[in-house]
Structure 1
């Protein structure tokens, strides 16, 4: 059986927003296996300066990420869409094991296959040090 992850392309404003909300919810679960199910088996990623290929690498990457980035909390916003592509802007907050807080800002470009699975994800991200009192993304 072919895996499917509705909604399917071509996207409308409503279905693109559904994809963004689903991604935000999955990433906020901090469950690498759950997140990886939204991607094709051979999905290509660029995350900052890291290049990944396939679900096993995605799961490994996310496991390590959430061991470093504690209390991770994310917000995504639909930026643009067309056909089988969606662009989002995002911000997330996290802390180190020394309780130093950061807010990370970025943009992602997503490309989906006909079954609604993401086959490409390219993310550009910048980190900004913040005080704990400056946090604005609630748990």
Structure 2
């Protein structure tokens, strides 16, 4: 008896895909998966991270330095340091003006606002194994 093949499952859109779509036409735009979230890179800098998990991983993380956090928080009252990743600011989906604030943050990233974006550390290369392999 032959088994019927199921068609491949359709890709479900990410909850926040509509937010990064305005950035996708930028020549330097890169979207990478990161711990179940989607990180947006522009000009090689990680600028925003969109996480659709359970709190505190449901919203937008703004990749920034501690020195630039206060300036962003002054402009966007809903931004707070992320409770687990305090080096970045967090806009929870439950914030009153989530959509408006997230849209403004995307616009700032698109304009290359210097308060947004970090240069990621280069990935460490795996060291070759020093164990000798026995030939059989």
TM-score using structure 1 length: 0.27
Would you tell me which structure has more helix in proportion to its own residues? 1
Kindly indicate whether structure 1 or structure 2 has the higher relative contact order, using CA contacts under 8 Å at least 6 residues apart: 1
With normalisation by structure 2, the TM-score equals 0.27
Hey, which of these two has a bigger chunk of strand by percent? Answer: 1
